[in-house]
Amino acid sequence: MGSKYEFSCSKCRHTLDSGIGEDWGMNGSCRTHYCQSCHSVFEIFTDRFTQELSEDISRHDHEPAAEGEVCPKCKGRQTDFWDPKRPCPKCGTKMKKGELVCLWD
C-alpha cells in the first residue's frame, strides 16, 4: 500500500503532501518529482509493478525528465526525482516529515 505524508519547511513554511520518493500500491507504483521551473513537487504514476523501478531510480535520479514526465503545473520538462532527504523546493532548507495523510492502493 502506498502512502503520502505531510512535509513542512520551518523556514519558509511551505508544506506539501507527498510520497517518500518511490512508492508501490497493489496495482502500480509512483515516483515523486520536483520541477526546477515552478518549484512544485508532484507524483508520476506508472503501471509498472516491479522492483526494477527502484533500481531505475537509483541510477537515474538526477536526469532530466523522460518523455511523459512533465510538470502538471507549468508543463516544464526540467524535473528531477525528489525524496524527503532533498531540501525544500522553495527555499532549500531541510523539510520535516509530518503525519501520514493518505494511504493509496
Residue-wise pLDDT for 63-94, tens only, equals 444 545 789 999 998 888 887 788 888 898 99
Residue-wise pLDDT for 7-51, tens only, equals 999 999 988 888 776 777 777 778 888 898 998 888 887 765 554
- What is the model's pLDDT at position 96? 92
CA distances to 29, 72, 75, 79 from 37, rounded to whole Å, are 25, 12, 9, 8
- Where do the structural domains in the chain lie, given as residue ranges? 2-104
Higher model confidence: residue 14 or residue 105?
14
